């Protein structure tokens, strides 16, 4: 994103810290904001009035020394972009990120959620498939021990559940720190098709209890998920 005019001698100018670093609607496009551009107090233009064309918030990252490093530090790393692209289902950006040298495909966010968690909970099957093919850990656990298939079950994404169970061959009875399985999550939130896929198609054990002694059907009963209760009774 360019300003109205080129910046002569960019080292003469200063800018406020970047903020609002985020993806925009166009796949692969990112933006950030900074405050007004001003003359550096130690530069040759100090104290002089700047032309209004330089008082802008959108500039190329090449316009200022060190701006690229600042951008990366604020979240422009390939790993961050990969998680965001996975969440949004943007295959073009996912592919670009996966081509980044030495990218850490299983890098997690502050909650240890990896790109495959992000894609699974949002139902982006093609992204999940691409990540598995690229070598992502299909059994990755977040800070609460939840795996990608649990994320898919939580939000009722049957296609992702089927892919992870059949093709990626994940442990469908894996338990989170609380002892909950994918079936617990699907039952609790009333996703009957997910319960059918887990229990009927892939043989998930619906008799596993969590740390509170709760079965999946117990959660379904608590949440008045009648269809799920009928399936598990």
Cα–Cα nearest to 61, from 136, 10, 97, 22: 10
Looking at beta carbons, which pairs linking 95-100 to residues 24 or more positions away fall under 8 Å? 95/130, 96/28, 98/130, 98/134
Whether 138 contacts 132, CB under 8 Å: yes
Please give the Cα distance from 151 to 82 (Å, whole number).
Answer: 17
Percentage of the residues of the chain whose pLDDT score is greater than 90: 57
- At 9, the pLDDT band (50, 70, 90 cuts) reads very low
- What would the pLDDT profile of 93-108 be if each residue is shown by its tens digit? 898 888 887 889 999 9
- What would the pLDDT profile of 171-228 be if each residue is shown by its tens digit? 999 999 999 999 999 999 999 999 999 999 999 999 999 999 999 999 999 999 999 9
Please give the Cα distance from 157 to 231 (Å, whole number).
Answer: 18
Q: Tell me the whole-structure pTM to 2 decimals.
A: 0.69
Each domain of the chain, given as residue ranges in start order, spans: 1-75
Q: What is the DSSP secondary-structure string of 119-153?
A: HHHTT-HHHHHHHHHTT--TT---TT---HHHHHH
| pLDDT surpasses 70 at 233 | yes
């Amino acid at each position: 994103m360019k300003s109205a005019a080129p910046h002569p001698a960019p080292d003469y100018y200063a800018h406020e810290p970047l903020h609002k670093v985020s993806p925009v609607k166009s796949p692969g496009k990112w933006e950030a904001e900074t405050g007004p551009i001003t003359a550096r107090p130690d530069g040759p233009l100090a104290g002089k009035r700047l032309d209004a064309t330089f008082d802008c918030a959108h500039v190329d990252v090449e316009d200022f020394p060190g701006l690229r490093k600042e951008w990366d530090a604020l979240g422009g790393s390939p790993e961050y972009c990969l998680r965001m692209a996975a969440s949004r289902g943007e295959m073009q950006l996912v592919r670009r990120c996966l081509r980044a040298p030495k990218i850490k495909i299983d890098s997690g966010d502050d909650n240890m959620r990896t790109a495959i968690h992000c894609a699974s909970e949002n139902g982006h099957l093609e992204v999940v498939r691409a990540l598995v093919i690229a070598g992502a850990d299909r059994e990755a656990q977040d800070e609460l021990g939840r795996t990608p298939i649990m994320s898919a079950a939580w939000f009722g994404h049957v296609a992702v559940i089927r892919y992870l169970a059949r093709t990626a061959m994940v442990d469908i009875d894996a338990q989170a720190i609380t002892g909950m399985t994918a079936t617990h999550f699907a039952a609790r939130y009333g996703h009957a098709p997910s319960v059918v896929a887990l229990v009927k198609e892939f043989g998930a054990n619906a008799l596993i209890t969590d740390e509170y002694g709760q079965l999946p059907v117990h959660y379904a009963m608590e949440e008045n998920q009648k269809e799920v209760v009928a399936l598990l009774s």
